[in-house]
């Protein structure tokens, strides 16, 4: 019994070490980027490298299949930029998927699967604000926001390994061009908008999705063409959902 307890404590310490190292590394890279201390190649500061880092992190925690998959996706997108070669064609490199599956099964069979220590589904309190331009960023966490505005112009939402739900039902759109820039990596964003808003998506999706549930269910719902808001940005292994309030 003592031996098992010691083994569990040792494994927990190792997991905690990798978790701490992962957050320190990601924090340092993001800090350097914000301070414009770009001492490393530009591609290091992109979501592609973040995918690779998160994949390696999960591999170190022995979540083999998930870690290998995420790291491979990041590698697929970053290789052309890193090696200055033409973009890879999926039709040529798809056999790598079979290799990944084989490696995942192999490692899973040899080493016991371990549970990720970090729970990304954290409880969050609702933030109620009055602002004409919103900025919301969630990283490895969750956020709920309720916004009131008589001249709402849009904003920016970033969700990286986290989720955000933003209630805009108490907002009136500005007469200007209204745009919400959305950047999602392995996360999700839910926007609750008034029934009459016309939500137009110009999002670029990579293994991700966009859904306006109310618009797809109720074809006879009144939509005001003048009350238009445009969604722009990139979704990678995540999604954006529109709800009507």
pLDDT-derived band at 43 (thresholds 50, 70, 90) equals confident
More confident residue, 225 or 199: 199
Tell which residue, 119, 118, 114, 143, has the closest CA to residue 129: 143
Q: What share of the chain in percent tops pLDDT 70?
A: 81
CA 24 – CA 18 distance, rounded (Å): 10
pLDDT-derived band at 3 (thresholds 50, 70, 90) equals very low
Mean pLDDT is highest, among 67-76, 112-121, 148-157, 205-214, for: 148-157
pLDDT-derived band at 152 (thresholds 50, 70, 90) equals very high
DSSP labels for 7-47? HHHHHHHHHHHHHHHHHHHHHHHHHHHHTT---S-GGGGSH
């Amino acid at each position: 019994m003592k031996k098992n307890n010691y083994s569990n404590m040792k494994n927990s310490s190792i997991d905690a070490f990798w978790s701490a190292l992962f957050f320190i590394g990601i924090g340092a890279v993001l800090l350097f980027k914000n301070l414009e201390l770009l001492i490393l190649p530009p591609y290091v500061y992109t979501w592609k490298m973040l995918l690779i880092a998160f994949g390696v992190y999960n591999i170190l925690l022995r979540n083999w299949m998930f870690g290998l998959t995420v790291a491979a996706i990041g590698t697929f997108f970053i290789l052309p930029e890193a090696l200055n070669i033409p973009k890879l064609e999926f039709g040529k490199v798809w056999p790598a998927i079979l290799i990944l599956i084989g490696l995942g099964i192999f490692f899973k069979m040899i080493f016991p699967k371990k549970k990720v220590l970090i729970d990304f589904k954290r409880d969050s309190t609702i933030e109620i604000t009055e602002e004409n331009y919103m900025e919301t960023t969630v990283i490895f966490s969750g956020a709920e926001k309720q916004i009131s505005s008589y001249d709402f112009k849009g904003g920016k939402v970033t969700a990286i390994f986290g989720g955000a739900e933003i209630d805009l039902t108490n907002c009136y759109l500005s007469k200007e061009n209204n745009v919400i820039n959305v950047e999602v990596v392995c996360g999700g964003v839910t926007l609750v908008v008034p029934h009459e808003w016309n939500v137009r998506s110009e999002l670029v999706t990579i293994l991700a999705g966009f859904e306006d549930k109310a618009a797809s269910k109720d074809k006879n719902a009144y939509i005001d063409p003048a009350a238009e808001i445009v969604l722009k940005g990139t979704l990678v292994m995540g999604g954006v959902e529109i709800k009507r309030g």
